[in-house]
Amino acid sequence: MKIAVIGQIHENGIKVLEEAKFEILRINNFDENNLKKQLTDVDGIALRTASINASILLKCSKLKIIVRHGVGYDNVDIDYLNQNKIALGITSTSNAVSVAEHVLTMFLYLTKKIKLSDKLTRSGNFKNKSSLPNFFELYQKNVLILGFGRIGREVAKRCIGFDAKVYVYDPFIEKQFIVDQKCIPIDKEEGFKIADYITVHLPLNKSTKNFISTNEFSLFKENLILVNTARGGIINEEALSSALKEKKIAGAGIDVFEQEPPPNNHPFFNFENIIMSPHNSALTLECRKRMAIECCETITYFLNKRKELNLNNIVNKENINII
Ligand code: NAD
């Protein structure tokens, strides 16, 4: 059987495919026409960030499974996969810790104003430390987590370690479960009003697009630090730009953008009160190894060793009748 690996993945993942004796096709040209040509006879796809739309999928007559190296799958046409009984996998156990650490990094970097301290120290102004603006502790602050799935829960544990008060908005999760994790369930609007920190861990879909926009910014406290490592577009970028410009919030940490890479003249680049990263919160070395292995094992188990398959990794198991 033939497996396409679209985009670079850690060699430990490739080894899994080699050991399973698959023919491996590595693709680094994500142009639609190239993908249409190269994917005609593949049985499985290991996929990083390239978009796989219905017109590409139409050409994949032998395809049985696509596995995302990651957990978001908004770059794949899931309706087409469901209709054609093609499995869609994710690497559900690999990346929550890495993303959660990134969130805490952004919280602390912004709240301790590390950029200003570093600048002051390098510029020979060590003695002027009292000229720096106030900076703060995470201790006993209100953290609001939007979306209490794999990543939200790992963030919660780490914030609890800092003795923060952790509030959760996720209407799809039992309140008692949230309480059992030492967190406090809260309504969206109430959470927005009391939060000192907000971190977004929602999927991007029709109901979460512009989840935070002008109206929500009007509810926030002035000292709010807002972090998005989920998907661009969940926070409206125009509304965030004006909040940063008018200093309606204290700062933002952004790993994901509506358009990636963001254009050179993106308004975020004008502001000091934002820290950005290039959608790499899950790309620590440890996490890349885990994702590559889990992605390739999921393909292998689905095609050859069904008993070893972690069914939680198959997003559309109900639609393709493998439960
Ligand atoms: P998950 O599916 O485990 O959790 C998502 C949670 O959001 C679920 O508990 C669900 O109930 C909740 N939810 C869904 N719609 C909601 C709504 N309208 N209101 C409130 N809650 C809602 O997902 P996860 O693995 O924790 O990932 C979260 C996000 O992080 C996804 O968007 C994913 O694509 C993104 N992500 C980004 C990176 C990165 O590199 N930056 C890496 C991994 C995941």
The answer on 100 and 87 residing in a single domain is no
* pLDDT score, position 115: 95
At residue 54, does pLDDT exceed 90?
A: yes
Residue 84: Cβ within 10 Å count:
15
Write the CATH number for 109. Answer: 3.40.50.720
Are the CB atoms for 5 and 24 separated by under 8 Å?
A: yes
The answer on 45 and 109 residing in a single domain is no
What is the number of structural domains in the chain?
Answer: 2
Q: What is the pLDDT of residues 132-178, one digit of tens each?
A: 999 999 999 999 999 999 999 999 999 999 999 999 999 999 999 99
Q: What is the pLDDT of residues 183-232, one digit of tens each?
A: 999 999 999 999 999 999 999 999 999 999 999 999 999 999 999 999 99
* The token pair that represents 287 in the structure block: 């996490």
Residue nearest to atom 31 of ligand 1 (CA): 203
Look at strands 87-89 and 142-146 and give their pairing. unpaired
Q: Which ligand 1 atom lies nearest to the CA of residue 280?
A: 40
The answer on 170 and 71 residing in a single domain is no
Task: Establish if 323 belongs to a structural domain.
Answer: no
Residue in 92, 170, 187, 234 to alter for ligand 1 test, most ligand atoms within 8 A of Cβ? 170
* pLDDT score, position 192: 98
Verify whether ligand 1 is closer than 6 Å to residue 7 (CB atom).
no
* Cα–Cα distance, 314 to 297 (Å, whole number): 12
Task: Establish if 28 belongs to a structural domain.
Answer: yes
At residue 87, does pLDDT exceed 80?
A: yes
Mean pLDDT of 29-39: 97
Q: Distance from the CA of 64 to the center of ligand 1, in angstroms?
A: 25
The answer on 202 and 142 residing in a single domain is yes
Task: Establish if 226 belongs to a structural domain.
Answer: yes
Residue 134: Cβ within 10 Å count:
6
Q: Phi/psi zone of residue 209: left (φ > 0), alpha (ψ -120 to 50 degrees), beta?
A: beta
Shortest CA distance to 183 belongs to which of 162, 164, 202? Answer: 164
Which residue segment(s) compose the domain that 109 sits in?
96-276
* pLDDT score, position 230: 97
At residue 323, does pLDDT exceed 90?
A: no
Mean pLDDT of 287-315: 97
The answer on 25 and 167 residing in a single domain is no
Q: What percent of the chain has pLDDT over 70?
A: 100
CB neighbour burial string for 194-223, b if at least 16 within 10 angstroms, e if fewer = ebbbbbbbbebeeebeebbbeebbebbeee
Q: Distance from the CA of 321 to the center of ligand 1, in angstroms?
A: 24
Q: Which ligand 1 atom lies nearest to the CA of residue 204?
A: 32
Mean pLDDT of 261-273: 97
* Cα–Cα distance, 279 to 260 (Å, whole number): 8
Q: Distance from the CA of 147 to the center of ligand 1, in angstroms?
A: 6
At residue 32, does pLDDT exceed 90?
A: yes
Verify whether ligand 1 is closer than 6 Å to residue 147 (CB atom).
yes
Q: Distance from the CA of 47 to the center of ligand 1, in angstroms?
A: 19
The answer on 223 and 126 residing in a single domain is yes
The answer on 18 and 75 residing in a single domain is yes
Average pLDDT, the chain: 97
Q: How far is CA 280 from the centre of its chain?
A: 9
Verify whether ligand 1 is closer than 6 Å to residue 64 (CB atom).
no
The answer on 52 and 175 residing in a single domain is no
Task: Establish if 125 belongs to a structural domain.
Answer: yes
The answer on 245 and 100 residing in a single domain is yes
- Band (pLDDT 50/70/90 cuts) for residue 322 is confident
The answer on 134 and 71 residing in a single domain is no
The answer on 212 and 271 residing in a single domain is yes
* Beta partners for residue 167, in sequence order: 144, 184
- Band (pLDDT 50/70/90 cuts) for residue 53 is very high
> Rounded to 10 degrees, what is the CA torsion of 251, 254, 258, 261?
130
